[in-house]
Structure 1
Amino acid sequence: MSLIEDLQWRYATKKMNGNTVPQKKLDYILEAARLAPSSSGLQPYQVFVIANKGVQEKLKAVAWNQSQIIDASHVLVFAAWDGYSEERIDTVFNKTMDQRGLPHTTMTDYKNTIWGMYEPLGQDWQAQHAAKQAYISFGMAIAAAAEQKVDATPMEGFVPDKVDEILGLNEKGLKSVLILALGYRDEANDWLVNMKKVRTPKEEFITELS
């Protein structure tokens, strides 16, 4: 199937049946998330994969008791940096230079430019910017899930501070941004499964300037 057909197939699954997503499919989805583009290639986020039912129960309790979290095969939590720093930027660029066989000084001017822009904007702006990068990765993951015929439920309905506490994100300098539940639809009990997909018409969604 084409990507468009896959996206037409997917929907925000409201009830999952508890079946396990094969590791090969999970790995594919996670690799799509890892390969996503990000501003300056910094990838200021991580993905936490939760299959432990005890942890999923704790997450459900702080996510409006959405059943998908416990019925899912795996729950992905996208967590972004809580801010930028010279050290964090240096670490990413130095690793990149190592992989490319170049001196660490190769990108010094660019690194200084980035930090010079980001530092004055403050930590709140930085955290929001990092969160936006996580959304790009999230989008790649949900598209990959559709390609693999794995159902997915995107979630912003949770208490971030509580999720951060459960997963120990504060100690890692991270903040939870999004949750993606992965599994398989319970067709007999999901009220949305046979509903028509509705999106803004093309002529209203797209404006072409020439």
Structure 2
Amino acid sequence: MTPLHALNWRYAVKQFSSSTLDQAKLDTLLEAVRLSPSAFGLQPYRLLLISNPGVRAALMPHSMGQDKVTKASHLLVFAALNRVDDAFVDSHIALLAQEREHPVERLQGFRDHLHGFLRDMTEQEKARWADQQVYLALGNCLTSAALLGIDSCPMTGFDPQGYDQVLGLAEQGLRSVAICALGERHPDDEAAQQAKVRLPAQLMTQVLV
């Protein structure tokens, strides 16, 4: 599909079928999300792909009654890192040096800049910044899924503390921020037939010349 065709085709699925996503398509989607942009390329989040019915059943009480969590083919949890500190920056610098085949010393200026950028933030500001990077990845996930013909439904209406407890995220240094159900729309999902409503272009975008 072309981007505009895909974005007109996608919608927030209300009812998923019982089908299971093709593994090759799923792998492509996860790779697309891995390639998402983030500030400085730091990616202060991780993804948890959940297909296990028992785990998803345990998440249902924390999902505000949204049975898409259990009925979709897969559930993708976007979890931000709890610690965004000097060690986190240094691990990124080491990876950057390895992948680009640079000596670490060549990246000292960039490393110092990142340290200063994060040290100027409160812990609350760091958490908000990490959340913003999650939403960049979530948006890329939705667009990439549409281009692949994968149906989705993003959700922030859930109890993050409940999810963190069920998934043991605190022990992994993570906290849940957003979730996304992935699969195939049910043929009886009436929402698929509803017109897509967005602001008209002349209201959405101001063109300054």
TM-score by length of structure 2 reads 0.97
Per the TM alignment, residue 187 of structure 1 is displaced from its structure 2 partner at its CA by 2.1
Aligned to 1:94: 94
Per the TM alignment, residue 44 of structure 1 is displaced from its structure 2 partner at its CA by 0.8
Per the TM alignment, residue 62 of structure 1 is displaced from its structure 2 partner at its CA by 0.3
Aligned to 1:169: 169
- SS of equivalent residue, structure 2 residue 121: helix
Aligned partners of 2:190, 2:11: CA distance in 1, in Å? 12
Per the TM alignment, residue 209 of structure 1 is displaced from its structure 2 partner at its CA by 1.2
Aligned partners of 1:205, 1:59: CA distance in 2, in Å? 37
Give the alignment of 1:99-114 within 5 angstroms: 99-114=99-114
RMSD between superposed Cα atoms in Å: 1.1
- SS of equivalent residue, structure 1 residue 79: strand
Per the TM alignment, residue 121 of structure 1 is displaced from its structure 2 partner at its CA by 1.5
Give the alignment of 1:1-210 within 5 angstroms: 1-188=1-188, 190-210=189-209
Per the TM alignment, residue 117 of structure 1 is displaced from its structure 2 partner at its CA by 2.2
Aligned partners of 1:60, 1:104: CA distance in 2, in Å? 46
Per the TM alignment, residue 35 of structure 1 is displaced from its structure 2 partner at its CA by 0.4
* Paired letter, 1:106: R
> How many residues end up aligned between the 2 structures?
209
- The answer to whether the 8 Å contact 1:83/1:130 transfers is no
In structure 1, stretches of 5+ residues that fail to align are none
Per the TM alignment, residue 67 of structure 1 is displaced from its structure 2 partner at its CA by 1.1
Per the TM alignment, residue 83 of structure 1 is displaced from its structure 2 partner at its CA by 3.6
Structure 1: 4+ residue segments shifted above 4 A: none
Per the TM alignment, residue 191 of structure 1 is displaced from its structure 2 partner at its CA by 2.9
* Paired letter, 2:198: R
- The answer to whether the 8 Å contact 1:47/1:76 transfers is yes
- The answer to whether the 8 Å contact 1:76/1:181 transfers is yes
Per the TM alignment, residue 27 of structure 1 is displaced from its structure 2 partner at its CA by 0.6
Aligned partners of 1:98, 1:209: CA distance in 2, in Å? 43
Query: Percentage identity across aligned positions?
Result: 36
Per the TM alignment, residue 120 of structure 1 is displaced from its structure 2 partner at its CA by 2.9
- The answer to whether the 8 Å contact 1:82/1:126 transfers is no
